[in-house]
Amino acid sequence: MKRSRTSISNDQALELFSSDSFLVVNKRLLSYYGPEVSVFLSNLVDKFKYFQQRNLLEDGEWFYLIHAHQIQQTGLTETKLRRCKETLRKDGIIETRMGGKPAKEKYKLILYNLLKTLENKRSRNLTPKPYENARAIKENKKDKETSSYETASKNGQITPSQFEKFWTLYPKKAAKGAALSKWNTICNKPTKDRPTWVQIKKAVFNQKKSDQWQDAKYIPHATTWLNQNRWLDDPEEMKSYSRGEEKPDTFIEYGERWTKDKNGTYRNPEGTIFSE
């Protein structure tokens, strides 16, 4: 026996696909506010119509909406709901207050301001939408960083993704977080001001063989090494300093460079006095 095909009328179809079953979002509203605020506001408009059609509006304009129902009907989190409300309050489209027993959050739609927002199509077309502008700035910044890193990678300069390779290579494993922060700071400099990965790798490899680095206490922390551009140091100059010998005008000890001032006192670049 063949199954009979069910036919429905246009009116039945309209009822089935009405806003009682689906949330209708205005396209112009969507283009101005983005999806989250638009969904939130469209849900409020639906509820306003529901209360208005049943003469349930308080003082002719206030209606309530249970918080749990908002989350269920919009799919938004509590944090996103709060942001949507803040945006619409700021634009003068809604007002809210608590009332009733038990207390419920009540809403008032300022329809005049809502209509102004929707009807001002020309200015919206000429002016970047708020959410699009913020997103464009964020994406533009990300694109610039990505482009900068790609250029650096092609030219051989270091990039953030190479930090782990550096950390594996560097002999002193201390203060990794600080070293990572400094590495990323260097990576965000103009490409011409960044060292190449080959330069970093060669410097660490050769300085490992220097006299100074044979004693672990004289190996600077990676953060210090990066901060002071120590990849530029000549390993041949990194001699161990023997106490009792006459000190030169400049020498390296404790992982720092010490220079004699006019009074004969040795200081590091931060001004700390060397003491034996």
Helix (H), strand (E), coil (C) string for 17-28: CCCCCCCCCCHH
Phi and psi torsions of 266, nearest 5° = -95, 130
Q: Residue 122 has what pLDDT?
A: 47
Take residue 20 and report the two structure tokens written for it: 């009682």
Mark which of 126, 151, 180 sits at the end of a domain: 126
Query: How far is Cα 255 from Cα 219, in angstroms, rounded to an integer?
Result: 5
Q: Residue 9 has what pLDDT?
A: 62
Once rounded to an integer, what is the mean pLDDT over residues 79-103? 87
Q: Is pTM, for the whole model, over 0.85?
A: no
Query: How far is Cα 219 from Cα 212, in angstroms, rounded to an integer?
Result: 7
Residues 117 and 151 in one domain: no
Q: Are strands 62-64 and 250-253 parallel, antiparallel or unpaired?
A: unpaired
Q: Specify the number of domains making up the chain.
A: 2
Greater model confidence, 21 or 166: 166
Mark which of 96, 126, 156 sits at the end of a domain: 126
Query: How far is Cα 70 from Cα 76, in angstroms, rounded to an integer?
Result: 8
Residue 78 reports pLDDT greater than 50: yes
CB-based contact 76:83 (threshold 8 Å)? no
Q: Give the range among 33-37, 127-131, 226-230 with minimum mean pLDDT.
A: 127-131
Closest to 194 (Cα-Cα) out of 180, 202, 183, 203: 183
Mark which of 91, 126, 161 sits at the end of a domain: 126
276 lies in a domain? no
pLDDT bracket for residue 108 (50, 70, 90): very high
Domain that holds residue 146: 131-240
Task: Specify the amino acid at residue 174.
Answer: A
Residue 84 reports pLDDT greater than 80: yes
Residue 212 reports pLDDT greater than 90: no
Residues 64 and 136 in one domain: no
Q: Are strands 256-260 and 266-267 parallel, antiparallel or unpaired?
A: antiparallel
Query: How far is Cα 169 from Cα 176, in angstroms, rounded to an integer?
Result: 13
Residues 182 and 112 in one domain: no
Residues 114 and 156 in one domain: no
Residues 135 and 217 in one domain: yes
CATH of the domain at 65: 1.10.10.10
Task: Specify the amino acid at residue 212.
Answer: Q
